[in-house]
Amino acid sequence: MENNTAIKTINIGTRGSKLALWQAHAVADKLQAAGLDTEIVIISTKGDQILDRSLDKIGSKGVFTEELEVGLRDGSIDIAVHSAKDVQSSIPEDLELVAFMEREQVNDVILSFNPDFKLERDSKVVIGTSSTRRKALLRKYYPNVTTAESRGNLQTRLQKLKDGQFDALMLAYAGVFRMGYDDLIVHTFPEDEFIPAAGQGSVAVECARNLEPELKQQLKDALDHAETHVCLVAERAFLRTMEGGCSIPSFALATLTAEGKVSIQGGLVSLDGQQHLYDKFEGDQAEAESLGVKLAETILGRGGDQILKDIRAERGE
């Protein structure tokens, strides 16, 4: 009897932006190398459709994932491919994250068409970004910078930059590099100052929990990067405990030390950049999840709970 999982076509659900499609094709390439047939299915999400409001105004839970998750439930797709930083902090019980792909460089960067652009502490420039975290950290470290809302895919944002809507763009290096725009990078933020959002730089693969176990294992074997996975377990535990999606200014970065330990640093910054909470913990890989929880509980206990309360009150939540 033939092994059906070996001949099944894996329907890969993805958003339709060029970067999302790059990620989906990266997944498809690995699955095909493992002997699986693939087909890419483009699904539009709320985050793609509503571009005239900032993310915190349209709700942070599942903005870029909800419609893809519907496809997982109705069987129109077998897996959903996401930027890991866009995945909501808690996954519905009937779904699971089966793989985290090898992480790209995690830094935030500045893009400009002016090669002489310099970002200094007293710079009075307008920087386009749609990230609450980036806006808050800019206010902390570059208090004279003005931020401007910059929604849309990378190509749309670059067109706005070309049109003079801002002097520069602030983005994740990973997406810029994957789209081939790294020649426009004029500034790279140190990752220990501008700590990235949980998951930044990795691609997450989601499936239904009841997917055939053998197929699920094939997906994991083909796509999952063990070192990245353990780091994202820690970061996502932090995010889940903070009860924050991509619209709160939290940050977390886990790495593996030379001795194979997990080291996680992270925290929270107030919207005005005036309050900045930070800590760092280290432990065995088996403790990755508990380290993320410990970091979040420490930050919340030092006043992070009040910062989040203030943010939600300001937004009328």
pLDDT tens digits along 161-186: 999 999 999 999 999 999 999 999 99
Please report the pLDDT score of residue 63 as a whole number.
Answer: 55
CA separation (Å) from 107 to 170, 187, 208, 212, 275?
11, 10, 31, 37, 22
Catalytic option among 48, 56, 78, 86: 86
Contact 117, 166 (CB under 8 A): no
CA separation (Å) from 269 to 251, 274, 282, 309?
9, 8, 22, 13
Please report the pLDDT score of residue 97 as a whole number.
Answer: 96
Report the pLDDT averaged over residues 285-314. 95
Of the ranges 43-52, 59-68, 121-130, 222-231, the best mean pLDDT one = 222-231
* Helix ranges (DSSP H) in the chain: 4-7, 18-33, 46-49, 55-58, 66-74, 132-141, 154-162, 173-178, 213-223, 226-242, 288-299, 305-315
Q: From 51, 87, 62, select the one nearest 205 (Cα to Cα).
A: 87
> Is 272 known to be catalytic?
no
Please report the pLDDT score of residue 64 as a whole number.
Answer: 61
For residue 73, the one-letter residue type is: R
In sequence order, the β-bridge partners of residue 108 are 172
Torsion angles phi and psi, residue 214, rounded to 5 = -65, -40
Report the pLDDT averaged over residues 187-209. 96
Of the ranges 49-53, 85-89, 151-155, 202-206, the best mean pLDDT one = 202-206
pTM of the entire structure? 0.89
Report the pLDDT averaged over residues 232-261. 91
Looking at the predicted structure, is the pLDDT value of residue 256 above 90? yes
- Averaged pLDDT score across all residues of the chain: 90
Please report the pLDDT score of residue 51 as a whole number.
Answer: 41
Distance CA(152)–CA(312), nearest Å, equals: 24
Distance CA(206)–CA(160), nearest Å, equals: 32
Distance CA(95)–CA(102), nearest Å, equals: 21
Confidence tier at 244 by pLDDT (50, 70, 90): low
Q: List strands edge to edge, sheet with 203-208.
A: 37-42, 9-14, 79-83, 203-208, 95-100
Distance CA(287)–CA(182), nearest Å, equals: 36
Min mean pLDDT across 66-75, 170-179, 220-229, 252-261 is at: 66-75
